[in-house]
Amino acid sequence: MAARRGEAAVDHQLVQKRDCYRCPYSTRYRKIRSRKEHQVKFFTVAMCGFLSLTPSLSWSGTSTDETIVCPVGGEQFTVTGTLSCSTQGRTMSFRPLTSCDFVTRLPICPTNGLPVYQEFSDEQVSDLEVFLETPDFTQLKQLPPWQRAYGVAEHLGQSGTATAFGLLLSSMWYESEDFINNDDILGHFLAETDGELERASEPDKPFLEAIVGYVLMASDRVEEAEIRLNRASQAANAPDFLLQYISAIRACQPNMEIKGCRPHDRFDP
């Protein structure tokens, strides 16, 4: 069962790369063309789900309206996509700043509140049809969207996967205040990070360690943060950009809430 379908305005292709944490651009949006129709797919993956967009830069930052069909109940609703995108830097949480920050990264079914973070299988849809009627999901609906999506992923047995890590990474990026002040969700993030470190390539691991180091520093867990930052800085062939990021995190340690240190503030190397 396709989770989302809609007519695409422009025929183009997004090419997925696996240069992970070092990749300059991250989004949860792509379009692919099947023989019968364009399918618009919104999905969340781990950092290795970074996408490199190939259309002409003349389309960069151009929005499109796309129709999503909720996999449970069939409700149709509109979300905002993009024809292309370009990176414009990073924040202190290492979230990419792009020309398409307006996109709908996580579609939420308006009536039942289901986060459509992936294309669900028929078996998963059958499971969700029951789960959405339970008190457990009612409780999940009180959480911010990305954390709610992680709760759904846990229910579907996706803990310890790249998908679960990607959902919590997105929560840190887009729900920063609630994330950093939530010991429970931070604990889940650290656990999912352990699995992601096993999956990550050697060049990517220090970037992941640095990101986690920032989160721990912002949560006032300085000793744990320093362990992560030391691992990152001591990695073989650590690039200058990474070392500058680590230095910026350490410079913020006395007060992580001042301008230039907060999660959504721009990182200026």
**Per-residue pLDDT, 88:** 84
Q: Looking at the DSSP assignment, which residues form a beta bridge with residue 80?
A: 65
Q: Specify the amino acid at residue 248.
A: A
Q: Which residues pair with 91 in a beta bridge?
A: 266
Say how far apart CA 164 and CA 149 lie, in whole Å. 9
Nearest by Cα to 234 from 130, 53, 226: 226
Please report, for residues 11, 68, 155, 182, the alpha-carbon distance to residue 1 in angstroms, rounded to integers and kept in the order given: 23, 13, 19, 35
What's the pLDDT score for residue 60? 56
pLDDT value for 208: 96
Under the phi-then-psi rule, with left for phi > 0, alpha for psi from -120 to 50, and beta for the rest, what region is 81? beta
pTM for the model stands at 0.80
* Dihedral sign of CA atoms 118, 94, 84, 11 in order: negative
DSSP label at 90? E
Asked if 65 and 76 touch (Cβ cutoff 8 Å), the reply is no
Residue 52 confidence (pLDDT): 29
- Residue (of 208, 216, 199) closest to 250 by Cα position: 216
Separation CA 47–CA 83 (nearest Å):
21
Beta partners for 108? 115
Which amino acid, 223? Answer: E
Q: Is 97 helix (H, G, I), strand (E, B) or coil?
A: strand
pLDDT of the chain, 269 residues: tens digit per residue: 333 333 222 222 222 222 334 443 233 333 322 322 222 333 333 333 332 222 334 445 688 899 999 999 999 999 999 888 888 899 999 999 988 889 999 999 999 999 999 999 999 999 999 999 999 999 999 999 999 999 999 999 999 999 999 999 999 999 998 999 899 999 999 999 999 999 999 999 999 999 999 999 999 999 999 999 999 999 998 999 999 999 999 999 999 999 999 999 999 98
